A and B are shown apart, each in its own frame.
Chain A
Amino acid sequence: MTPRLSRRAVLAGAALLAAPSAVRAQSQARLLVIGGGFGGASAAGFARRRFPWLDVTLVEPKARFVTCPYGNLVIGGTKTLDAITHGYDGLRARGVRVVHDWAAGIDAAARRVRLQGGETLGYDRLILSPGIALRWGALEGYDEAAAEVMPHAWVPGDGAQTLLLRRQLEAMPDGGVVGMAIPANPFRCPPGPYERISMIAGYLKRHKPRSKILAFDAKDAFSKQGLFQDGWNALYPGLIEWVPANRDGRITRVDARDRVLESEFGEKHRVAVANVIPPQSAARIAIDAGLADASGWVPVNPVTFESRAAPGIHVVGDANIPGPMPKSGYIANSTAKQAVASAAASLRGEAPPSALYYNTCYSHVGDDYGISIVGIFRPNAEGTAIVEVPGSGGVSPRGNLPEQRRLEATYADAWYDSITRDMFG
């Protein structure tokens, strides 16, 4: 559809003719987005919708994107991989140039990105949403080869890891023990491991009722813990054993050959299926570009999401240090829009818009059984840190509330449909 020019727009255009440099800057402003996930796809689509004068290029190696959200339902067998796989035609239709290549390096001073295929892309503003890297070897014995035996299924890629874990569960005899190793904070998707425990438990209850899950955690507490444990007690009594760090739950070594998870104090747990979620950092391109600090994650400006090390590069999604916000798809989407609006404002010589960030993380605990945590966040008055808006959020109420759980499961499905449509539609 060709947009009709309103009288106001024509007048505004006429006014701009008096300032040719501004017109030139706007008409040619190049927004480059690296990474086509929850941060990057959201950024590219939003940029074209809200700032159609931006020339938007998205660099993403994969032709199809498998979401982390709902991956646990694929592992549990209640969703197909196809249902959580998305393409980029919708973004192309919005006018985004989509380049399927690997961004190999960033030259922040020259404002250029080198692609593995040989092309070099210049930009005026860069939105970097590269996601996470798994820190191979940070957990002794866990490298890429080990992940082929003990899948992480935490960075879905083309979905191979998700399906590998699914197949292993299907092949496991009834009575087998599923072991999980869960990392310390911070990591992608704080409630994710516990939703995964729930979905695997659902599968075992239906098909392998003599099996159980041994979940070893490097933490003593986790997101929505009370709600998850209420659900586990109600739906899967005796099926799940969660071992916190203060009961020797921290896994410090794994042996892929024998599928052994070894604890901090030397207990060796041999399991039939092992899902190892290893320690993580920002993706390599962010670290190679010198954007990450000693923590392995990228410090950012709480208003614009520009890197503290390289202004002009807005880092969104799980690679950054989000203050009190979780590393979630919703936060990636919400902050990507603020980053794009800030980039656009900067290109027009304007101040960044005031910021408000939204998060809801739904988790499925069983069939028709959903729970959630909500938070609203904003920069503090000084603009130096992100804080949660007091009284803004919370978690689902506890207690025997089947209708609430049923509704939240449907809200979760609706959330997934909405956000993936916002990203790819």
Chain B
Amino acid sequence: MTSPLATPRIRIPRQVRAGETFEVRTLIEHPMETGLRQDGPRPIPRDLLNRLTVRVNGDIALQAELRNGTSANPFHTFFLRLDRTSDITFTWTDERGRTAQATSRVQVG
């Protein structure tokens, strides 16, 4: 309960051309425990990330609901297109409201 969420990893280009489609990859280490597994006689407590939100200059570009079918260390790949230099903010939230966040600036030019 006490440990903070891991530092996320982001792979995103620093610079793109306007209107160019580019790939973004994210990875966050997290056990994604469903609460259904046992460690011997003891149940392993449920511990799940439930959301990834990607904002471009504050506007939501992508929102993913994560559930108990999402594998450990969730990995997401998606594509973006920008027409101006933007700050991309990635936010993971767990079921207890803890968050991990990363921001990347992508230059358009």
Tell me whether B81 is interfacial, beta carbon within 8 Å.
no
Tell me whether B108 is interfacial, beta carbon within 8 Å.
no
Is A266's CB under 8 angstroms from B11's CB? yes
Is A246's CB under 8 angstroms from B11's CB? no
Report Cα–Cα, A248/B10, bound state, in Å.
10
Of B27, B71, B72, which contacts A248 at CB under 8 A? Answer: B27
Chain B residues near A264: list those with CB within 8 A.
11, 25, 27
Tell me whether B17 is interfacial, beta carbon within 8 Å.
no
Chain A residues near B27: list those with CB within 8 A.
246-248, 264-265
Chain B residues near A266: list those with CB within 8 A.
9, 11
Q: A264-B11, A265-B9, A266-B11 are in contact. Are A246 and B25 (CB under 8 A)?
A: no
Tell me whether B75 is interfacial, beta carbon within 8 Å.
yes
Decide if the interface of chain A is mainly helix, strand, loop or mixed.
Answer: loop
Select from chain A the residue with minimum beta-carbon distance to B72: A246
Interface size of A as a range:
under 10
Tell me whether B83 is interfacial, beta carbon within 8 Å.
no
Interface size of B as a range:
10 to 19
Q: Which of A220, A245, A264, A265 has the most CB of B within 10 A?
A: A265
Report Cα–Cα, A226/B20, bound state, in Å.
44
Report Cα–Cα, A265/B75, bound state, in Å.
11
Q: A246-B27, A247-B29 are in contact. Are A265 and B10 (CB under 8 A)?
A: yes
| Per-residue A-contact encoding for B62-80, CB less than 8 Å = 1, 0 else | 0000000001110100000
Chain A residues near B10: list those with CB within 8 A.
265
Report Cα–Cα, A266/B25, bound state, in Å.
11
Q: Which of B13-33 touch A at CB < 8 Å?
A: 25, 27, 29
Is A246's CB under 8 angstroms from B9's CB? no
Chain A residues near B29: list those with CB within 8 A.
246-247
Is A265's CB under 8 angstroms from B73's CB? no
Report Cα–Cα, A11/B71, bound state, in Å.
68
Chain B residues near A220: list those with CB within 8 A.
71
Report Cα–Cα, A245/B72, bound state, in Å.
11
Chain A residues near B72: list those with CB within 8 A.
246
Select from chain A the residue with minimum beta-carbon distance to B29: A247
Is A247's CB under 8 angstroms from B73's CB? yes
Q: Which of A234-251 touch B at CB < 8 Å?
A: 245-248
Chain B residues near A265: list those with CB within 8 A.
9-11, 25, 27
In the assembled complex, 23 residue pairs joining A and B whose CB atoms fall closer than 8 Å, in A order, are: A220-B71, A245-B75, A246-B27, A246-B29, A246-B71, A246-B72, A246-B73, A246-B75, A247-B27, A247-B29, A247-B73, A248-B9, A248-B27, A264-B11, A264-B25, A264-B27, A265-B9, A265-B10, A265-B11, A265-B25, A265-B27, A266-B9, A266-B11
* 8 pairs of A and B residues whose beta carbons are closest in the complex: A246-B73, A265-B9, A265-B11, A248-B9, A246-B75, A247-B73, A247-B29, A248-B27
Contacts from B to A (Cβ < 8 Å): 9-11, 25, 27, 29, 71-73, 75
